[in-house]
A and B are shown apart, each in its own frame.
Chain A
Amino acid sequence: MARRRSRSGRTSKTEQEFVSEAEEIIERMRGGLADLEDQRAANDEVDPEVVNRLFRSAHSLKALAGLFGLDPIRHLAHQLEEILDALRLGRVSLESPAISLIAEAVRVFATLLEAVGDAEAIEVAAAPVAGLSEQIEAAVRAARSGPEVVEALDVDPEVLRTLTEYEEHRLQESLRHGRHIVLVDATFEIDSFEAGLTALSAAVRSQGELISTLPAPDDGSDSRIRFSLLSASSLAADALAGRIDVPGASVRSAMRRAAPRAPAAATPVEGADGLPSLQSISETVRVDIRKLDELMNLVGELVIQRGALGDLITTLQSHHATAWIANDFTRVHKELNRKLKDLQTAVIDVRMVPLHQIFEKVSRVVRGLRRELGKDVRLEVRGADTELDKLLVEELVDPLMHVVRNALDHAIEAPAERVARGKPPQGRIGIDAFQRGNHVVIAVSDDGTGIDTQGLRARAEARGLVAADETLSERDVLELIFAPGISTRLGVTDTSGRGVGMDVVRTNLTALGGVVDVKSTPGSGTTISMTLPITLAIVQSLIVCVDEQRFAIPLGSVLETLLVEPREIQRSRDRELLDLRGEALPLRRLSAEFGLGTPPPEAKLFAVVVGIGDLHMGLLVDRLEGQQDTVIKPIQGPIAAIRGIAGATEIGDREPVLVLDVAALVEDPQRRREAPCP
């Protein structure tokens, strides 16, 4: 504790912020590393998702360190990216030193983090970085001609590159089984080399395995030819030499001497207080999100029980004899209500965080990057007080960061270029967040180049994702940015462009039940919209009745409710409209939408006016039943999604009530209108 206090004494607030954030990233890396180690132990194939996760962590750490000027961390993170990239592409295997290098890097990050705020300590902690970086570079370089083999063998990598995959595999297998790899060299007369080579091959085979017969550089003579037989044997070179009885043949070991690793990186920090502290350095409390889930569920159950109590009171009130109890009950119920509301708010508060937390993070990155990239960009953030479940916010960081980096790196042009195109020299990136029904939309827009759809298509064709003669709409082509392996720019930069691109963004968002869309106008900009559900929140809903079936409509998207006389409903072509204070409000009958029975034509109806963005619409229902707190739950079962239904909720102890997905209902007819007529 004493140590911790002295630390916080000398670290500034921004440094603490950095440490806290970096710790989280490193924690994630440890998790990923443990997964990798498990896979290696199980002799499994590398799970690309694990590697990708590690890669993203390294990427985030690099950006963060760059921002705070912590060069050793930034440098090492970059190297880590390199080796993870190689791993991802299968150029390096888990058996190679890769995994220990990654583990070492994570360990060094941790010691570096401990030292933040103390220049001297940083210097000490940074000592292993150079050595480790070299090792990583070597491993990545070696990877090109087969991983382990190159590491272990003293053979010209150029030669090794000529091996077939099978030969390489045999080589690896032999090494794994602890056999010696030897090169048997021999020179033969060119006109009789066949017989000699056959004899030599047979001799080698009798003592082990002949992996490959390699032509060797000749000794300048036209009449002689030299071969090098790459072989594996349980005998060492010296012993083998005695057993190969072919004149002129020489045997040498191809094994690299077991050279000690560069000690700089391999020596763990030890000493009196050298053991890496397990105690978290930052002062924030981290709670397992599942614990919050449990809490949330309990509160949800309580809310439902309260609803049941309300139903009971109504029953009591309706009977003359019990009405007086109902009055007392109502008082208690109200108090319970109030307390429950407080509890509910408190629990939701713990989960819900305003987006400005991550928006600030994004702003920092943008500030850092625009300096680095020499771009003049104004970041406009709107709707930062929009709240989202903590879990979703955390998962949103990476995709959002990626989208913004893409905009900055690829979309926004250099000032001179912008002026030449008749744009203001300063570029603009906008982040707009707003709630739309039970979704939160985060739109990242820029006024840059827009997406080069021709180039995009060409790359997709080159990768075989699209046939050359395939007709694609503009929209389909834009969708290609979400295809795996398509980066919007080819070069590898510090910022983005490694091909871990929009496909990852889409994967991440889909996993959260969200969607990502792209709109782009060549020359004038791109908008990437990410829409996420807020399913975890307790929301107020309006309960409506259609054909005696109840439905819940989240109040967030309800603008008002109207009592509608049938004669007020006007028809325009096949659509029904209502004159709402001079504006035409399109109507939709839920009964028709859901194939339910309709009330008698003269019956009064209720219109629930819902709005999503600029789209307004009146949903016609038979009856309004009042407002309720609802916990929207997913429907368990072999049905993925039902259009127009967001989930279900329990009210009292009666049957579950379906919750309408207003966004889908409102957008449905839009989509239908856009659909080409058959």
Chain B
Amino acid sequence: MSVRGPHAERAPGWESLARAALRPRRVAEDPGVLRRLLAFELEGAPYAVPVERVREIVRLRPITPIPRTPPDVRGVISLRGEIVLVIDARQRLQLPQAPPTRSSRIIVVQNDEGRVAGLLVDGVNAVLRVAEDAFRLTPPGEPGAVAALCRCGDRFVSVLDLERMLDVDPDV
């Protein structure tokens, strides 16, 4: 259930990013509300989902492909008796395809209704604390499932809209 801290196989540059997020803000009169994000990596770029939506993070395990589903549906895994659908985050965000590596992880998230799904990512990095006012909503009409950008140190982290991330076209 617990979200693991920064992983050993962390990509370079993440250390400073995580530290930057944890550093107390200078503007004392408005510290803003701190939000916790689970940061992970896709194609070398930082992404994040709200921590409260993450149920657990699991290592890559055998995934059974499901016929008659769109290509971004990777398949199902077995999770202590539950059968959980896994979405390939790279496919979903139309990033170049790459085979999973040792650092690949499945982030098990749940939506407001308690529905569970897995998100296959390249690697999980850190839990970031980000002030509410560091969020920049993506301009409307921006394609994809990125809901907001948030500034962390000198980098922008793409915060994903889980509803859109997990919205599978049922007509396939």
Contact yes or no, A655 B67, CB < 8 A: no
Contact yes or no, A638 B81, CB < 8 A: no
Set of chain A residues within 8 Å of B83, measured between Cβ atoms: 633-636, 647-650, 656
Residue among B67, B81, B167 with the most chain A CB within 10 A?
B67
Interface residues of B in 50-106 (CB under 8 A from A): 61-69, 73, 76-78, 81-87
User: In the docked arrangement, what's the CA distance between A637 and B78, Å?
Assistant: 12
Contact yes or no, A650 B81, CB < 8 A: yes
Q: In the complex, which of the residues A596, A639, A644, A656 contacts B64, with contact meaning CB atoms closer than 8 Å?
A: A656
CB distance from A290 to the nearest CB of B (A): 15
Smallest Cβ-Cβ distance to B63: which chain A residue: A655
Contact yes or no, A638 B167, CB < 8 A: yes
Q: In the complex, which of the residues A593, A596, A633, A637 contacts B166, with contact meaning CB atoms closer than 8 Å?
A: A637
* Residue A658 at the chain B interface, CB threshold 8 Å: yes
The count of residues in chain A whose C-beta lies closer than 8 Å to any C-beta of chain B is 30
Smallest Cβ-Cβ distance to B70: which chain A residue: A639
Set of chain A residues within 8 Å of B26, measured between Cβ atoms: none
Q: In the complex, which of the residues A595, A649, A655 contacts B62, with contact meaning CB atoms closer than 8 Å?
A: A655
Set of chain B residues within 8 Å of A640, measured between Cβ atoms: 170
User: In the docked arrangement, what's the CA distance between A111 and B117, Å?
Assistant: 50
Set of chain B residues within 8 Å of A593, measured between Cβ atoms: 67
CB distance from A511 to the nearest CB of B (A): 15
Contact yes or no, B166 A638, CB < 8 A: yes
* Residue A77 at the chain B interface, CB threshold 8 Å: no
User: In the docked arrangement, what's the CA distance between A655 and B85, Å?
Assistant: 12
Contact yes or no, A549 B64, CB < 8 A: yes
Set of chain B residues within 8 Å of A644, measured between Cβ atoms: 67-68
Set of chain B residues within 8 Å of A297, measured between Cβ atoms: 81
* Residue B115 at the chain A interface, CB threshold 8 Å: yes
* Residue A645 at the chain B interface, CB threshold 8 Å: yes
Contact yes or no, A639 B168, CB < 8 A: yes
Contact yes or no, B85 A636, CB < 8 A: yes
Set of chain B residues within 8 Å of A595, measured between Cβ atoms: 67-68
Given A549-B65, A655-B64, A657-B64: A637 and B77 interface contact (C-beta under 8 Å)? no
Residue among B65, B83, B168 with the most chain A CB within 10 A?
B83
Contact yes or no, B82 A633, CB < 8 A: yes
Set of chain A residues within 8 Å of B66, measured between Cβ atoms: 635, 642, 645, 658
Set of chain A residues within 8 Å of B67, measured between Cβ atoms: 593-596, 642, 644-645, 658
* Residue A5 at the chain B interface, CB threshold 8 Å: no
CB distance from A227 to the nearest CB of B (A): 56
* Residue B145 at the chain A interface, CB threshold 8 Å: no
Contact yes or no, A639 B77, CB < 8 A: no
Chain A 619-644 interface mask (CB, 8 Å, partner B; 1/0): 00000000000000111111111111
User: In the docked arrangement, what's the CA distance between A301 and B82, Å?
Assistant: 11
Given A639-B69, A640-B170: A656 and B76 interface contact (C-beta under 8 Å)? yes
User: In the docked arrangement, what's the CA distance between A297 and B82, Å?
Assistant: 10
Smallest Cβ-Cβ distance to B117: which chain A residue: A637
Set of chain B residues within 8 Å of A642, measured between Cβ atoms: 66-69
Contact yes or no, A637 B61, CB < 8 A: no
Interface residues of A in 232-266 (CB under 8 A from B): none
Smallest Cβ-Cβ distance to A550: which chain B residue: B64
Smallest Cβ-Cβ distance to B111: which chain A residue: A638
* Residue A654 at the chain B interface, CB threshold 8 Å: yes
Contact yes or no, A636 B82, CB < 8 A: yes
Contact yes or no, A637 B115, CB < 8 A: yes
Q: In the complex, which of the residues A549, A638, A639, A650 contacts B78, with contact meaning CB atoms closer than 8 Å?
A: A650
* Residue A427 at the chain B interface, CB threshold 8 Å: no
User: In the docked arrangement, what's the CA distance between A389 and B167, Å?
Assistant: 32
Contact yes or no, A639 B85, CB < 8 A: yes
Q: In the complex, which of the residues B64, B68, B115 contacts A638, with contact meaning CB atoms closer than 8 Å?
A: B115
* Residue A300 at the chain B interface, CB threshold 8 Å: yes
Residue among A648, A649, A650 with the most chain B CB within 10 A?
A648
Interface residues of A in 214-231 (CB under 8 A from B): none
Chain A 562-602 interface mask (CB, 8 Å, partner B; 1/0): 00000000000000000000000000000001111000000
CB distance from B48 to the nearest CB of A (A): 20
CB distance from A188 to the nearest CB of B (A): 62
Interface residues of B in 93-151 (CB under 8 A from A): 115-118
CB distance from A42 to the nearest CB of B (A): 20
CB distance from A638 to the nearest CB of B (A): 4
CB distance from B104 to the nearest CB of A (A): 16
CB distance from B20 to the nearest CB of A (A): 34
Chain B 159-172 interface mask (CB, 8 Å, partner A; 1/0): 00000001110100
Given A637-B166, A638-B166, A639-B69: A656 and B81 interface contact (C-beta under 8 Å)? no
CB distance from A307 to the nearest CB of B (A): 12
Set of chain B residues within 8 Å of A549, measured between Cβ atoms: 64-65
User: In the docked arrangement, what's the CA distance between A639 and B118, Å?
Assistant: 12
Set of chain A residues within 8 Å of B84, measured between Cβ atoms: 635-637
CB distance from B74 to the nearest CB of A (A): 11
Smallest Cβ-Cβ distance to A298: which chain B residue: B81
CB distance from B2 to the nearest CB of A (A): 21
Set of chain A residues within 8 Å of B63, measured between Cβ atoms: 655
Set of chain A residues within 8 Å of B76, measured between Cβ atoms: 635, 637, 648, 656, 658
Contact yes or no, B115 A636, CB < 8 A: yes
User: In the docked arrangement, what's the CA distance between A657 and B76, Å?
Assistant: 9
Contact yes or no, A643 B68, CB < 8 A: yes
Contact yes or no, B117 A638, CB < 8 A: yes
Set of chain A residues within 8 Å of B64, measured between Cβ atoms: 549, 648, 655-658
User: In the docked arrangement, what's the CA distance between A655 and B75, Å?
Assistant: 10
Contact yes or no, A639 B170, CB < 8 A: yes
Contact yes or no, A635 B85, CB < 8 A: yes
User: In the docked arrangement, what's the CA distance between A580 and B47, Å?
Assistant: 58
CB distance from A642 to the nearest CB of B (A): 6
Residue among A593, A639, A648, A650 with the most chain B CB within 10 A?
A639
- List chain A positions with a Cβ less than 8 A from chain B: 297, 300-301, 549, 593-596, 633-645, 647-650, 654-658
Interface contacts beyond A633-B82, A637-B115, A638-B168: sample of 15 additional A-B pairs, CB < 8 Å, sorted by A: A635-B83, A636-B84, A637-B118, A637-B168, A639-B73, A640-B170, A642-B68, A644-B68, A647-B83, A648-B83, A650-B78, A650-B83, A655-B64, A656-B83, A658-B64
Q: Would you list 12 pairs from A and B whose C-beta atoms are within 8 A, ordered by A residue?
A: A300-B81, A301-B81, A594-B68, A635-B83, A637-B84, A637-B117, A639-B168, A647-B83, A648-B76, A650-B78, A655-B61, A656-B83
- List chain B positions with a Cβ less than 8 A from chain A: 61-69, 73, 76-78, 81-87, 115-118, 166-168, 170
Closest 5 CB pairs of A and B: A637-B85, A594-B67, A655-B62, A637-B117, A648-B83
